[in-house]
Structures are given as C-alpha cells and as structure tokens.
Structure 1
C-alpha cells in the first residue's frame, strides 16, 4: 500500500508531457536542465566541455509540464540534474525517486542562496496561483520521505536534502504564518538573482568535473559580466521613470519589481493557469484608471485573453513582458536568448512607465 502513491506518480510521469530533445553523449559531462534560463546559463558556462539536455521543449510553459520516460532514462545516466527549486518544478521529488537504482546523478536547486520572496495566499487575486505553489511546496517536503533501499537511494535522499536546504526559511515562515506564506519561484526574472543562479551552476560544474575548472571559471566570468551590465542598465533606466506600477497577467515579476523599485499587480497568481475572481478584475480595472496605467502586460507562452479583457475594460493597451520561462518557436528561430528577451522587457517597461 505504501508503494502505490509512488507507482501512480511514476505512471503519470511516464505518460505525460511534451517530448524534450537531446541525448546522452559518452565521454562528456552530461547535464540535465529543467527549463530554458538554466539551460542557457549552463550551456554558456559549460561550453564544449559538457553536453546539456533541456527537458522543457520549445514553446511549452514550465508550470504545466511533466517529464516522460525518456527524461528519466537520460537523467539516470547524467552526472548533473539542475533545477530551479523554490517550488517551481513540483514533479522533481517523484522524478528523482524514479531514477535507475545505479544512477549517480547529482541534483542541485540552482536558486539556492537567492533571497526568496514570500507571497500571501490571502492577497486578493493571487489565490489560485498560490494554491498551486503550496501543492508544489508540499511535494518538495514529501521528497524528504522514504526512498527505495540501496546506495543510490541514500545518495538521492542526500541530494534532495541538500536541495531542500534552500527552502528552510520558507518552511519556517510557513509554520510561523499558519501555512499562509509560499515561495515565489520566479527568481531568474531579475538579473540580480540570475547572477546567484549562474554562480551555483558554475560551482556544480566544477564539483562534477574539476579537470575543466579553468574553462568553467573563465566562461562564468564572461556571463557574470553580461548579467552585471544588464543589472546596471535596469537600475539606471528604471530609476529615471516617473511611474512604478505595472499590471501583469501572471505573478512572475516580483523579483524584478523588488530589485528595481517597481510594484507588481497580477491578474493571475504564481501559476499562469490560475483563474482570478471577477471582483479581482474589477479592482484591477479601477487601479489601472486611478494610477493612469497605460498598458497591461501579457506573456507569449500563455493565453492573453484575460489581459486583453482587462485592457478593454480599463480602456488601455496590451504589451509583452516576458518572464523568460522558455522560448517560442519563433524566438528560437530568431536566435533570441535570456539577454535579448530581457532587453526587450526593459524597453517595454520604459515605454509603459513614461
């Protein structure tokens, strides 16, 4: 009876999810990443010394995706499994339990060390998304439970305990607040947090492959310089603007708002699929009119229906603000990346907040 939940979860994992790309390359450090920003940073730091497989396919939003059986096979053979953590990938605990018993893969939550933002589920229009985050957080706490017998089970358990250290403050806050607070996982949307994540990725590569440490350090330094320049540009340009209020379709920009002096108002919660209450839309429409907000921001990987509905109600326009959770097929074809998308975000913010 105790095995049934794990077996059912494994069936779900192997039956669902769009297909990811890539295959294991013998003789290289194989790294599995869960979604686009981690994939990009890992590829830049790792260079030709590693083989990177990104689980999330192009054009897919990470909140709704679950792995396939081939992803379990590839991860079992890899040396590193890099995921965001902070509750973004709620499927990770069961996924790690599903790996082959002889796997030596090291699991690392690359957002560890970021100053997490806690969000209150009673905060108006955030109900649906935060309930989703609570489920994911509960799943990560469950990862501390029983594993299969054997050496790999112990290693997997140790890896999960290490990754869960990043959530210790969150768990204490949850207890203190009566489980009303949950972690916002969208860390990478701020270049300041992205810098921390990039360093964690570099350290993971060095630990897994110390022979190529010099290359990892050199490429990380170049990436860090670009992230620092992006951070400085966001600080300088946004500080000039008279307006600071933004209305977004998906509550994914709290780290960006905190780090650069903006105030975020979201139609939906932490999950882009959360349905807002009718009164929330009425309140947001009133806020838009009162604050003189000119644009409602939406993102490409989820429906823009609610953003357009609110914009029509408030008599304003819509514009893209990209949480950089993944690329569309057009963006991949055009050669877009984290930096080009964040630059477009900055230009759209400048236009909207003038």
Structure 2
C-alpha cells in the first residue's frame, strides 16, 4: 500500500460540505428532521442530545428555556457508546433528541425509526450537509508532498476505509462516512441553524428567543472561522499527521491535508507497513509534531514520534470533555482555539 492510500486529503472529489459551508453562510432551508409531522410541545422542552458538541450547540440555542441533557457521559469515547435500556427509555420520554447523524451514532437510526408517528422529535444536525466519504487516495506518491499537499489535488476511489472491518450496529462503525463535520466552524454554523429551526418548530412560543440565541452564538462561530482562516492561510507547510482521521472537514475548509495514522475509528490499528510508511513520510518531510487526541490511547502517535525524534501534541476532535476540560471551564470554542494554536505551531515548524 502506498502512503497516499492512507491520506485523507482536504478535498474529497466532488463531495463538498454544503453549498454555503465555505463562507459560513446559512443553508437555504435548514432541516427540521422529523419535526415537521409532530405537534408543537407545550411548556419547557425536555431535550436529550447524543454527545458533547450537540449539547454545546443546543444549549447555546435554548439557554434556560429548555432542559438539555447529554446522553454520553463526559470522558467516554462516543464511538464506543451504546445506549442502555434506561437510556432508551429516557430518550422515549423526551420531547426532542438531537444527534449529529452521518452515522456517528450507530444507535440513532433505531431511535428515529421507533419515533415515527410518536411524540419524540428527532433532529439530525448534519442533515442537508454533503457528507464526505472516508476515502483512500490511490495515486502514486512520487511528488513526496513537498511543502505540503494542496487541498483537493488528488483523485479518490471513494472506497470506505473500514467498510469491511466495521460491524453493523456498533456505535463506532460509520459505514465509510466521515461524520466529524462539527470540527469545521462553517459547518458547525449550519448544524446550529438546523437545530434552531427544529426547536423553534417544536416550541413556537420560544422561537424568537431561540433565533436570537442562535444568531448570537453563530456570530462567535463566524469569528472563530475567521481566526482559522487568518492563522492558517500562510503557514510553511499544509500537511499534518494525526492519529485519528477526524479532521478532513477542517483540513478542507482551510486548504490543509491531514495524514492519518489510522482511519475514521479511533480504535482502528494501523498495520506495520502503514506505520513504516508514515515514518518514512514524516522523515522525508521533516515532520516535527505527531498529533494524538483525548479520550483514546496515544501509544501509536508516541511510537512514531519516538522513531523520528518528533514531539506529540493534542489535536482534539471534541467528541467529549475530559475532567481537565471541565475543570478549566473549556467549551467548544475554547478547545477549537487550542486546536488552532497547536496546528499553527506545527505547520510553521
């Protein structure tokens, strides 16, 4: 396998991340998922959300006008989580379930199917976005990525990276799709708009407040997006090595290329040959930082860093908060700025 077979480039063929994603403008028609056929809810909404980014987005929309509870506990890797019978009962008792979709939550479709015709409103935050496939590049690597790979320069065969390895029904099987849209601020904006539209339909009496809260939070996301654009546009290099292939949307938005050690699942272990090729690439391109992530072991990144004399640093996919994040009062915006600082440093070494 050539090294390029392991690269997930910033572009993904003709699969763009939505018509309005590049400039952070709203989608023409935010999706309300299953809300359209459900009667409005009287009183304060009881909302369950799947994992941390969905909580962050939803809570910033509702403020104190709804009870918002995250299903996946802090410190838990969302790819591994499966709802218990109690969790399923809690979801059924809720007014609204907000989830990312794009097969991030392997259990969600069962809930959506079961909610058909009932009172539960299900909101797929990524609905309406064009979802990237977890693809492998098949071109030869003769150009050696001098100075970093430009976004979208490679052709892809659109074969799922672990389509044959995943197990149907397990939470960490994305079915070959990349669900990590929240890591691109422009796409997070669209998820916020989709959630707001659904919640406003569910609780018309609070629609004006939800809209105002949403626009205030979107202004913060737009500022974050501009910070990423300004910091990353003129970096010395454009490629970065990361342990988990979670940063394809972020890379594409800012004309970068992620070189993932493993695939879309954090638990996916690279082969010895893949490890050797990553080491070869890192040495040839004078890579000085190998990124790992929170919530999973850094052993693979540590091994490669030791082999080439590089350091490791965190690039956080924000799939859940750690105890340290909570202690330091970090949220999505704060962690994304930490990611930007880490990326900027590594790309200018």
TM-score for both structures, normalised by structure 1: 0.76
Are the structure 2 counterparts of residues 290 and 345 from structure 1 closer, same or farther at C-alpha, using a change threshold of 3 Å?
same
- Equivalence for 2:84: 68
Q: Which moved more, 1:87-96 or 1:105-114?
A: 87-96
Q: Is the 8 A contact 2:192 2:218 kept in 1?
A: yes
Number of equivalenced pairs? 288
SS in 1 for 2:191: helix
Gapped regions of structure 2 (runs ≥ 5): 1-41, 140-158
Q: Which has the higher helix share?
A: 1
User: For residue 344 of structure 2, what is the aligned residue in structure 1?
Assistant: 350
Q: CA deviation at 1:95?
A: 3.7
Q: State the alpha-carbon separation in 2 of the partners of residues 30 and 260 from structure 1.
A: 37
Q: How does 1:192-341 map to 2 (within 5 A)?
A: 192-341=186-335
Distance across 2 between alignment mates of 1:277 and 1:311: 16
* Matched-pair contact (CA < 8 Å) for 2:81–2:171: no
Is the partner of 1:119 in helix, strand or coil? coil
Counterpart-to-counterpart distance in 2, 1:115 and 1:238: 24
- Please tell me whether the aligned partners of residues 132 and 271 of structure 1 are also in contact (alpha carbons under 8 angstroms): no
Other-structure match for 1:118: 133
C-alpha distance 52-138 of structure 1, shift in aligned 2 (>3 A): closer
CA contact (8 A) 2:100 2:124 kept: yes
Q: Shift of residue 138 of structure 1?
A: 12
Aligned residue runs from structure 1 range 43-192, under 5 A: 43-96=59-112, 103-120=118-135, 129-131=162-164, 135=168, 182-192=176-186
The answer as to whether partners of 2:185 and 2:224 remain within 8 angstroms in 1 is yes
Aligned twin of 1:40: 56
Which consecutive segments of 4 or more residues in structure 1 shift more than 6 A? 137-140
Q: Deviations over 1:130-171 (max 9, x none)?
A: 44668469999xxxxxxxxxxxxxxxxxxxxxxxxxxxxx9x
Aligned-partner Cα distance in 2 for 1:136–1:220: 33
Give, in angstroms, the shift of residue 112 of structure 1.
Answer: 1.2
What's the CA shift for 1:334?
1.6
Distance 1:188 1:132 in 2: 25
What are structure 1's unaligned runs of at least 5 residues? 1-25, 141-169, 171-180
- TM-score, length of structure 2 as denominator length: 0.77
Q: Does the 8 Å contact 2:184/2:250 carry over to 1?
A: yes
Deviation at 1:128, TM superposition (A): 6.4
Between 1 and 2, higher relative CO (CA 8 Å, sep ≥ 6) is seen in 2
Could you tell me whether the CA contact under 8 Å between 1:130 and 1:271 is conserved in 2? no
Give the deviation of 1:240 after TM superposition.
Answer: 2.1
Inter-partner Cα distance in structure 1 for 2:225 and 2:291: 21
Q: Do 2:240 and 2:259's aligned partners in 1 also have CA atoms closer than 8 Å?
A: yes
